[in-house]
Amino acid sequence: MSDIRLYNSEDDEVVSGLRSLYAAPSGDGYWNELEARIMARVADVELGWWTELDRWIRPAIAAAAVLLLATGVAMYRAHQEEQNIAAESMLTAPAVPVSTAIRPTLQDDREARIRFLFGR
* Number of residues counted as binding another protein (CB under 8 A): 27
What's 11-41 look like in SS3?
Answer: HHHHHHHHHHHCCCCCCHHHHHHHHHHHHHH
Integer Cα distance of 31 and 62 in angstroms: 45
Should residue 18 be labelled a site residue for another protein when binding is judged by CB under 8 A? Answer: yes
Specify the DSSP class assigned to residue 5: P
Q: Which residues contact 1 (CB under 8 A, 6 or more apart)?
A: none
What is the closest distance, in whole angstroms, from the C-beta atom of residue 22 to another protein in the complex? 6
Should residue 41 be labelled a site residue for another protein when binding is judged by CB under 8 A? Answer: yes
Which stretch in 33-41, 65-73, 82-90, 106-114 sits in contact with another protein by CB under 8 A?
33-41
Which residues of this protein are in contact with another protein, per CB under 8 A? Answer: 1, 3, 5-7, 13-15, 17-22, 24-25, 31, 34-35, 37-39, 41-43, 45-46
